[in-house]
């Protein structure tokens, strides 16, 4: 048999797939669709790393598998190419961010092709392509017309060093101070006039529709917590000696008789106007200190701080005077920015009250010391005396509404999306301001409003983006009237909020208009996305904003599905060999290029899928890569055995068991156990030293999604089949071969049941151990432990003994 020259073979098949466009999405409606989506990468200078390869291989396996099952598969790729990293590189080097970005894209594309990923490259896009952001601008116009895009004075995270507003996920806390993730420049809170998207209008739907999707529960919970719905009441407290009043939101209006002070956020608009002259300097100093903290840091800080304003409020039911304080644990962007403090029944209020010597009044009979936060009988509480919490809350809200001093209310942690960035490298807003500040929009037929070329893109120094320096572009004259363009650009998340739709609309002629009937038909055909794979870091950023835009598209009639992504899987991080997160600074990062050269793409793909469950963290191992290469060499040499016209009877049971197991595992994305089963099958072939033509081709189909280059080569050059595996029919097992020789194997870890497996009777002990040790739940309970021994009772039980390593 010819030598397995993986470098030559892999290049051959990659060129073949590209030249013939074999992964191009079909337009017919005769086959069920299957849309497999990757979270598209930011094309950084460092190129792809092995973590990218893990997720991209997983989706490629599924897309190849589904194609062989008869689905019309859409599996595209693009580039999330606007954003701060390219801008900072350009500032540091003086180079053009556009040319730098497209050089990186070219390198990323090369790497993806060399890993053997079956992509419909006719659907390729970049958010920086003018034809793409033409529609991003078009979408912004629809949001504006629907009242969902508004200009507001909002408090933002301002970074002077970077000259731009930063999102919360672009900020770190160092020594209790906010700094930018890139460069560690100081960040402060600052009010600025910004474009804001009113995502809060969709808060309830974003919560309720989570029940429609198959997502990891922890990710759903992250979104629920980020949206943070709370039900309760707004209650008005009049300020003594003033016509003003403070509205507080509380989830516990039943505790109103226990209020002993009111807390305002340092950003509350009434703070400076109600503060007494004696306390003014102290209050101003505290406000300045608060600006240096992030909201997350303010909530998490266990050391309560605050200052007295010198002002008092009137209790709405007793008319007693209550001191008004400001404290940074009270956030302006949650509720009303004001809190009625009930220290006897709230831990945070209690800690504050004890620190500053404020009164504590019990109004619910509890057990032990304050604060009591459980359900109990109310006393000293007027009309709700003798009632437990739920009934007391409802009765008190009714009472407050009847007296017109309060009302039922829901509030959310979710804030409207600050959509302006003071950067050059982003989508320009299709907005014009006349000399009076009136807004008009660039007409649709004049889009895209292209980003002007600037030789130098340093911040303007005025708080505006570098676009303030593009004077010819900035001040157009239209029909004899002078205008000014918006100097802000859109955030990076703008382009990624609809790219999954853009893939569907993309053709050789450009993009179908989103509001066209033709677009509606094709979107209804392919949406929602069937499988979306990516990291958890996008849980409350991209995933939330994409869901928001999708619901707007639904309301506008552009799409028929309520949710964009039906099934979502978060792949686990690949760690360095030292079990720490890979990074260049640690010197433990791994690029795929060298390993594709030394071992081949198929070996790299197989190794990454065999490392463990897709969702788990896994340490990199060069030894493991060697093992993957050895297995593929073993498959290649298997074709030296006699290949018979008829099926080899000794292999029929394991063959059909393998079809069943691999099919089920591919459906579950349990690629590691699918590989274990295929290894067992190869071992059986080596024992028999022969295999039937039907059996060997069926096996190649099973392995093809993981190792596509080698299996296509064997299929074409050794078996002389001219029907390529990628468009062949997926094997179907015969249940008759499964019944007689299967037994249930119980797997225990330290005596506790962790798995039940259906295996071939009298399977060799080494194969039994392999199946048991690679089961997902067993891996979960052995990870991080030393395996002391593995005890196998044939056909019955495997007991794995572990101890702390």
407: left (phi over 0), alpha (psi -120 to 50) or beta: beta
213 within domain boundaries:
no
Average pLDDT of the chain to the nearest whole number = 93
- CATH number for the domain spanning 335: value is 3.90.740.10
Instruction: Examine the domain organization and report whether 370 and 389 are in the same domain.
Output: yes
* Extended strands (E) in 75-163: 78-79, 125-126, 149-159
Instruction: Examine the domain organization and report whether 376 and 261 are in the same domain.
Output: yes
Domain enclosing residue 469, as ranges: 138-207+417-492
Domain boundary among 492, 515, 533: 492
What residues are designated binding site for ATP?
Answer: 584
**279 falls in which pLDDT band (50, 70, 90)?**
very high
Q: What per-residue confidence (pLDDT) applies to 584? A: 63
Instruction: Examine the domain organization and report whether 381 and 250 are in the same domain.
Output: yes
Residues 6 or more apart whose CB falls under 8 angstroms from that of 392 comprise 254, 378, 381, 384
Nearest to 409 by CA among 209, 571, 233: 233
- Looking at residues 217-245, what average pLDDT do you find? 95
- CATH number for the domain spanning 568: value is 3.40.50.620
Residue 556 burial (CB < 10 Å; 0-12/13-18/19+)?
middle
- Distance, in Å, from the CA atom of 349 to the CA atom of 355, rounded to the nearest integer, reads 10
Total domain count for the chain? 5
- Looking at residues 80-105, what average pLDDT do you find? 89
Q: What per-residue confidence (pLDDT) applies to 576? A: 84
Instruction: Examine the domain organization and report whether 444 and 547 are in the same domain.
Output: no
487 within domain boundaries:
yes
Domain boundary among 348, 379, 411: 411
589, 583 Cβ separation under 8 angstroms: yes
Instruction: Examine the domain organization and report whether 538 and 451 are in the same domain.
Output: no
- Distance, in Å, from the CA atom of 685 to the CA atom of 703, rounded to the nearest integer, reads 15
Report residue 188: phi and psi, to 5°: -130, 160
Nearest to 165 by CA among 177, 155, 152, 175: 155
Residues 6 or more apart whose CB falls under 8 angstroms from that of 154 comprise 191, 192, 194, 196, 416, 418
605 within domain boundaries:
no
Instruction: Examine the domain organization and report whether 719 and 747 are in the same domain.
Output: no
140-196 residue pLDDT tens? 999 999 999 999 988 888 888 887 788 777 888 888 788 998 889 999 888 889 999
Q: What per-residue confidence (pLDDT) applies to 2? A: 63
Instruction: Examine the domain organization and report whether 722 and 631 are in the same domain.
Output: yes
Structure tokens at 123: 């659907």
Is the per-residue pLDDT at 275 higher than 80?
yes
H or E element: which one contains 705? none
Mapped onto helix, strand or coil, the DSSP state of residue 6 is helix
- CATH number for the domain spanning 767: value is 3.10.20.590
Is the per-residue pLDDT at 585 higher than 70?
no
User: What is the percent of the chain where pLDDT is above 90?
Assistant: 80
Instruction: Examine the domain organization and report whether 21 and 118 are in the same domain.
Output: yes
Number of H helices, E strands in the chain: 26, 34
Instruction: Examine the domain organization and report whether 393 and 259 are in the same domain.
Output: yes
Instruction: Examine the domain organization and report whether 158 and 261 are in the same domain.
Output: no
733-769 residue pLDDT tens? 999 888 766 788 999 999 999 999 988 888 999 999 9
Q: Which residues pair with 742 in a beta bridge?
A: 760
710, 602 Cβ separation under 8 angstroms: yes
**805 falls in which pLDDT band (50, 70, 90)?**
low
721-733 residue pLDDT tens? 999 999 999 999 9
- Distance, in Å, from the CA atom of 290 to the CA atom of 336, rounded to the nearest integer, reads 18
Is the per-residue pLDDT at 297 higher than 70?
yes
Instruction: Examine the domain organization and report whether 463 and 571 are in the same domain.
Output: no
217 within domain boundaries:
no
The DSSP secondary structure of 721-748, one letter per residue, reads --S-GGGSPPP---GGGTSTTEEEEEEE
Is the per-residue pLDDT at 591 higher than 70?
yes
H or E element: which one contains 634? helix 622-638
166, 159 Cβ separation under 8 angstroms: yes
319-336 residue pLDDT tens? 999 999 999 999 987 889
Would you report the helix, strand and coil content of the chain in percent, each value rounded to 5? 40, 20, 35
Structure tokens at 119: 């992509």
Q: What per-residue confidence (pLDDT) applies to 301? A: 74
Instruction: Examine the domain organization and report whether 688 and 715 are in the same domain.
Output: yes
Q: Which residue has the tokens 């949710």?
A: 563
Structure tokens at 321: 């005077």
552 within domain boundaries:
yes
227-236 residue pLDDT tens? 999 999 999 9
What residues are designated binding site?
Answer: 584
- Looking at residues 584-594, what average pLDDT do you find? 78
């Amino acid at each position: 048999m010819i030598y397995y020259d993986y470098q030559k073979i892999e290049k051959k098949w990659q060129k073949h797939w590209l030249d013939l466009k074999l992964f191009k999405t079909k337009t017919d409606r005769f086959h069920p669709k299957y849309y497999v989506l990757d979270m598209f990468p930011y094309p950084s200078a460092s190129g792809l790393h092995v973590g990218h390869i893990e997720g991209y291989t997983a989706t490629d396996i599924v897309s190849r598998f589904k194609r062989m099952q008869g689905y019309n598969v859409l599996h595209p790729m693009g580039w999330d190419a606007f954003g701060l990293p390219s801008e900072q590189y350009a500032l540091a080097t003086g180079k053009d961010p556009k040319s730098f970005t497209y050089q990186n894209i070219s390198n990323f594309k090369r790497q993806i092709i060399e890993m053997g990923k079956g992509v419909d490259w006719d659907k390729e896009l970049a958010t920086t392509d003018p034809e793409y952001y033409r529609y991003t601008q078009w979408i912004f116009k629809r949001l504006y017309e629907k009242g969902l895009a508004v200009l507001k004075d909002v408090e933002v995270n301002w970074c002077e060093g970077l000259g731009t507003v930063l999102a919360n996920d672009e900020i770190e806390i160092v020594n209790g101070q906010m700094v930018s993730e890139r460069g560690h420049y100081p960040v402060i809170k600052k009010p600025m006039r910004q474009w804001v998207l009113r995502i809060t209008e969709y808060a309830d739907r974003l919560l309720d529709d989570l029940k429609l999707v198959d997502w990891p529960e922890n990710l759903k919970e992250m979104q629920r917590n980020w949206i943070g719905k709370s039900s309760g009441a707004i209650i008005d407290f009049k300020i003594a000696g003033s016509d003003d009043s403070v509205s507080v939101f509380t989830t516990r209006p039943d505790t109103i008789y226990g209020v002993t002070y009111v807390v305002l956020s340092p950003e509350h608009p009434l703070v400076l106007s109600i503060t007494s002259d004696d306390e003014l300097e102290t209050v101003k100093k505290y406000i300045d200190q608060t600006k240096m903290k992030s909201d997350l840091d303010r909530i998490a800080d266990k050391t309560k701080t605050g200052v007295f304003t010198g002002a008092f409020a009137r209790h709405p039911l007793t008319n007693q005077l209550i001191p008004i304080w400001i404290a940074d644990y009270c956030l302006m962007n949650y509720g009303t920015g004001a809190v009625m403090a009930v220290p006897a029944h709230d831990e945070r209020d209690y800690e504050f009250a004890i620190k500053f010597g404020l009164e504590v009044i019990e109004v619910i009979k509890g057990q032990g010391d304050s604060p009591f936060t459980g359900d109990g009988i109310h006393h000293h509480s007027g009309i709700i005396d003798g009632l437990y919490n739920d009934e007391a809350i409802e009765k008190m809200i009714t009472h407050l509404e009847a007296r017109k001093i309060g009302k039922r209310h829901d509030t959310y942690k979710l804030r409207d999306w600050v959509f302006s960035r003071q950067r050059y490298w982003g989508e320009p807003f299709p907005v014009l301001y006349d000399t009076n500040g009136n807004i008009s929009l660039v007409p649709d037929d004049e889009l895209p409003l292209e980003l002007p070329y600037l030789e130098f893109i340093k911040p303007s120094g005025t708080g505006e983006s570098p676009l303030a320096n593009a004077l010819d572009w900035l001040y157009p004259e239209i029909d004899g009237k002078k205008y000014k363009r918006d100097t802000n650009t859109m955030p990076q998340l703008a382009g990624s909020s609809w790219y999954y739709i853009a893939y569907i609309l993309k053709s050789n002629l450009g993009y179908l208009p989103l509001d066209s009937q033709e677009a509606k038909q094709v979107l209804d055909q392919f949406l929602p996305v069937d499988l979306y794979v990516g990291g958890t870091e996008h849980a409350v950023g991209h995933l939330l904003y994409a869901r928001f835009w999708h619901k707007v598209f639904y309301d506008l009639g552009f799409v028929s599905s309520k949710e964009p992504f039906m099934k979502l899987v978060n792949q686990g991080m690949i760690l360095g060999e030292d079990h720490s997160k890979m990074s260049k600074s640690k010197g433990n990062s791994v690029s795929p290029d060298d390993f594709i050269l030394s071992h081949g793409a198929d070996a790299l793909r197989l190794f990454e899928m065999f490392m463990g469950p897709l969702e788990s963290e896994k340490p990199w191992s060069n030894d493991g890569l060697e093992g993957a290469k050895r297995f593929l060499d073993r498959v290649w040499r298997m074709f030296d055995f006699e290949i018979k016209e008829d099926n080899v009877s000794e292999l029929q049971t394991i063959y059909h068991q393998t079809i069943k197991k691999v099919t089920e595992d591919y459906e579950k994305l349990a690629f590691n156990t699918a590989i274990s089963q295929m290894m067992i099958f190869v071992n059986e072939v080596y024992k028999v030293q022969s295999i039937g033509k039907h059996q060997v081709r069926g096996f190649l189909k099973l392995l093809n999604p993981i190792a596509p280059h080698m299996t296509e080569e064997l299929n074409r050059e050794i078996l002389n089949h001219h029907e390529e595996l990628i468009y062949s029919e997926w094997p179907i097992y015969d249940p008759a071969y499964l019944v007689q020789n299967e037994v249930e194997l119980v797997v225990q870890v330290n005596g506790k049941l962790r798995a039940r497996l259906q295996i071939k009777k009298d399977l060799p002990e080494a194969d039994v151990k392999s199946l048991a040790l690679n089961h997902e739940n067993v891996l979960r309970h052995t990870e991080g432990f030393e395996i002391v021994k593995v005890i196998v009772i044939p056909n019955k039980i495997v007991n794995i003994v572990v101890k702390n390593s």
